[in-house]
Amino acid sequence: MLEMNGKVAIITGGADGIGEALADDFLNRQAKGVYIVDINEKKGQETLSSLKDKHGAGRIQFWKCDVRNTDELEGAFKDCLGQYGQLDIVCNNAGILNEYTRKLMIDINLTAVIEGTYLAVKYMGTQNGGKGGVVVNSASILGLIPHNLSAVYAASKHGIVGFTRSVAFEPDLVSNGVRVVAICPTVVDTTLIPSALEKGAKYTKEIKQGLAGLPVLKLRDVTSTVVRLIEDGSANGTTRLIRVGQDPEDICPPELF
């Protein structure tokens, strides 16, 4: 069992929404340090300031970068180890929803998750001077089911699910003591979808109709599931579906051919 107490985490997309809630939750659980990595400087500084007010200045840092730039992302890992001397948890959570910018969305939602996972092995792995650890990738229910109004977004999230289930058992990860899991929430109470719709997302009208009346997850439904996955040392290659009013359940249990 890996307890949050005394652990150090990097959270991409940590300035807002699910990432911000994870940072707050980890700090509430006495994490030693949390690194929020985000492209949004203004929101990042605001979140940094409010988390410092709540939890004290020493346990929270903000690293501004675009997760698509692997060198800049790696800078956060190096800086984090320099600040805290350890790294235990990596949440590859940054994501966007924009069917008009297809390559950009795949680069942020999928490629950066893949690169972030291998950076986690490089900096947490037992064969690389670390103590091992856990990677939590933010997928979506749309990583498990198709969606005709969000095909590229769904492709990016299906990619995360396939990658997570596979890489978790890659020999290099197993021998380095690094577990990899993914969360697959339905709609969550953040600005991701409302702000995409406000900006005139593709199929805005149809998406609004589809979303009307759908139950919305609270941030704590997501953070509590993430913490359970982190703490459960047997969770590896797990893709956990999170729905309103239902216990989180594992879909596609990992089975190697």
Ligand X SMILES: CC[C@@H](O)/C=C/C=C\C[C@@H](O)/C=C/C=C/C=C\[C@@H](O)CCCC(=O)O
Ligand Y SMILES: NC(=O)c1ccc[n+]([C@@H]2O[C@H](COP(=O)([O-])OP(=O)(O)OC[C@H]3O[C@@H](n4cnc5c(N)ncnc54)[C@H](O)[C@@H]3O)[C@@H](O)[C@H]2O)c1
Is residue 66 near ligand Y by the rule CB under 6 A? yes
| Closer Cβ to ligand X, 17 or 33, answer by number | 17
Q: Which of 173, 142, 188, 193 is nearest to 237 (CA)?
A: 173
How many residues touch ligand X (CB under 6 A)?
A: 18
CA distance 215 to 34: 30
To the query of whether residue 100 is one of the catalytic residues in this protein, the response is no
The entry of ligand Y, ligand X, none near residue 215 (CB within 5 to 8 angstroms by kind) is ligand X
| Of positions 67, 91, 120, 155, contacts ligand Y by CB under 6 A | 67
CB of 112 to ligand X, least distance (A): 16
Annotated catalytic residue: which of 84, 118, 153, 203? 153
Binding mask 122-161 for ligand X (x = CB under 6 A): ------------------xxx----x-xx--x--------
Is residue 244 near ligand X by the rule CB under 6 A? yes
* Gap between the terminal Cα atoms of the chain: 28
Is residue 25 near ligand Y by the rule CB under 6 A? no
Contact 217, 187 (CB under 8 A): yes
Is residue 92 near ligand X by the rule CB under 6 A? no
What phi, psi does 181 have (nearest 5°)?
Answer: -135, 165
| Closer Cβ to ligand Y, 175 or 246, answer by number | 246
Q: Please work out, in degrees rounded to the nearest 5, the angle formed at the alpha carbon of residue 87 by the alpha carbons of 173 and 253.
A: 40
Q: What is the largest CA-CA distance in the chain?
A: 52
Supply the DSSP string of 166-182, one letter for each residue.
HHTT-HHHHTTTEEEEE
| Of positions 187, 197, 211, 244, contacts ligand Y by CB under 6 A | 187
Is residue 126 near ligand Y by the rule CB under 6 A? no
Binding mask 222-241 for ligand Y (x = CB under 6 A): --------------------
How many residues touch ligand Y (CB under 6 A)?
A: 28
For ligand Y, the binding residues (CB under 6 A) are 12-13, 15-19, 38-40, 43, 66-68, 93-96, 108, 138, 140, 185, 187-188, 190-193
For ligand X, the binding residues (CB under 6 A) are 97, 140-142, 147, 149-150, 153, 186-187, 193, 207, 210-211, 214-215, 243-244
* Residues carrying an active site annotation: 153
